[in-house]
């Protein structure tokens, strides 16, 4: 089955889309953003991606493509406004201490009942990023699923032998742990990354890899390089979901469905991230016209058959990392 996500933006992904709208300020409201996400959920899309320009203040102007909320704060609100769709927020490794980031996303995953993902922006230092990802993943494994027993009669809040202390001491970080957040309903939050030729090392450690806006031939070359890096880590191509961007322009829904199927087959893709030219109209058009066509062809789900983001993406529950207890 094809996997489809939505890249959320207030006005749409055409830079001039905001100029064609009346009541521009309404598009920046939370209710407007939530309405798009609910449309995507009504269409059974796997997730919504909340991008972020490194969390940095612009020097000259504010892009109309930028989401006007800090991504993890928006996920927290959207998790209470939706029930099934996954929510992936972007955060940079050079802007957060690993313990704080691990705690934030673990908390979001509890709020969203296992529907959260972390889209990683690296620091540019591969060694530091490898260590950072290992620390965060290790902290997410602080507790076994049945560690918290809440046994009032025996006075046992949790089982001590089911708590795992990280005790990490590396070149860049020293983190003892454990994380003071209960286990994730999906094992760990999903990790995603936008692949570039210089970030294959991060991508090979991710669950979902987004390909940049380029040609199917370039997608195929990047995918081949990714497979090599996966093999070096003892992973396989089926361990990762590979998605490319698509900017749909309705001529007919059948044409867009043809394009998606052809490109997926040619580049070995698992699906796409929807970049609607305008919003919310583009989201509604895709959900109302293209999704039914994909369903008729048997390549997209008719309804959610899972409750977590990993379930939507057909990703297995991650194995617990080996570390000190």
Q: Give the pLDDT band of residue 325 (cuts 50, 70, 90).
A: very low
pLDDT of residue 18: 67
Mean pLDDT, range 9-22, rounded to an integer: 74
> In the structure encoding, which two tokens stand for residue 260, read together?
């998606």
Q: Taking each helix axis as running N to C, give the angle between helix 71-81 and helix 98-111, from 0 to 180 degrees, rounded to the nearest 10.
A: 20
State pTM to two decimals: 0.93
pLDDT exceeds 90 at position 150: no
Q: Give the pLDDT band of residue 311 (cuts 50, 70, 90).
A: very high
pLDDT exceeds 70 at position 305: yes
Mean pLDDT, range 275-280, rounded to an integer: 89
pLDDT of residue 251: 83
| Interatomic CA distance for residues 18 and 46, integer angstroms | 26
Is pLDDT larger for residue 215 or for residue 79? 79
Contacts of 69 (CB under 8 A, 6+ apart): 30, 33, 50, 77
Tell me the C-alpha to C-alpha distance, in Å, between residue 88 and each of 28, 127, 218: 19, 24, 25
Q: Taking each helix axis as running N to C, give the angle between helix 71-81 and helix 30-42, from 0 to 180 degrees, rounded to the nearest 10.
A: 60
Q: Give the pLDDT band of residue 250 (cuts 50, 70, 90).
A: low
pLDDT exceeds 90 at position 60: no
Work out the angle at residue 213's Cα, subtended by the Cα atoms of residues 211 and 216, and round it to the nearest 5 degrees: 75
Residue showing tokens 């194995």: 319
Mean pLDDT, range 223-248, rounded to an integer: 95
Mean pLDDT, range 37-49, rounded to an integer: 98
pLDDT of residue 61: 52
pLDDT exceeds 70 at position 57: no
Is pLDDT larger for residue 234 or for residue 146? 234
Each residue's pLDDT tens digit, 163-198: 999 999 999 999 999 999 999 999 999 999 999 989
Instruction: Identify the structural domains of the chain with CATH numbers, from first to last.
Output: 3-9+32-105+115-121+179-204+213-312 (3.20.20.30)
First to last CA, the chain: 40
Write down the mean pLDDT value for the chain.
90
| Interatomic CA distance for residues 210 and 195, integer angstroms | 6
Is pLDDT larger for residue 57 or for residue 50? 50
| Interatomic CA distance for residues 61 and 141, integer angstroms | 41
């Amino acid at each position: 089955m094809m996997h489809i996500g939505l890249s959320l933006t207030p006005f749409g992904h055409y830079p001039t889309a905001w100029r064609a709208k009346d009541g521009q300020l309404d598009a920046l409201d939370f209710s407007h953003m939530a309405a798009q996400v609910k449309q995507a959920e009504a269409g059974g899309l796997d997730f919504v991606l909340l991008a972020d320009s490194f969390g940095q203040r612009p020097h000259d102007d504010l892009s109309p493509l930028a989401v006007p909320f800090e991504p993890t704060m928006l996920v927290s609100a959207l998790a209470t406004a939706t029930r099934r769709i996954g929510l992936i927020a972007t955060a940079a490794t050079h802007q957060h201490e690993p313990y704080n980031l691990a705690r934030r996303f673990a908390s979001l995953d509890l709020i969203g009942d296992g529907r959260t993902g972390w889209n990683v922006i690296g620091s540019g230092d591969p060694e530091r990023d490898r260590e950072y990802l290992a620390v965060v993943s290790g902290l997410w494994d602080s507790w076994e699923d049945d560690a918290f027993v809440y046994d009032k009669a025996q006075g046992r809040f949790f089982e001590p032998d089911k708590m795992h202390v990280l005790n990490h001491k590396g070149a860049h970080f020293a983190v003892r742990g454990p994380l003071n957040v209960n286990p994730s309903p999906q094992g760990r939050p999903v990790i995603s990354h936008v692949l570039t030729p210089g970030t294959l090392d991060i991508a090979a450690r991710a669950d979902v890899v987004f390909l940049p806006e380029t040609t199917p031939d370039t997608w195929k070359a990047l995918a081949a390089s990714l497979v090599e890096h996966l093999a070096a880590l003892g992973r396989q191509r089926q361990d990762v979901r590979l998605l490319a961007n698509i900017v749909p322009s309705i001529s007919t829904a059948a044409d867009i469905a043809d394009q998606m199927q052809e490109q997926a087959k040619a580049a070995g893709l698992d699906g796409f991230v929807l970049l609607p030219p305008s919003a919310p109209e583009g989201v509604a058009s895709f959900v109302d016209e293209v999704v039914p066509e994909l369903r008729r062809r048997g390549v997209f789900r008719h309804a959610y058959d899972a409750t977590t983001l990993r379930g939507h993406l057909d990703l297995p529950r991650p194995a617990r990392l080996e570390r000190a207890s």
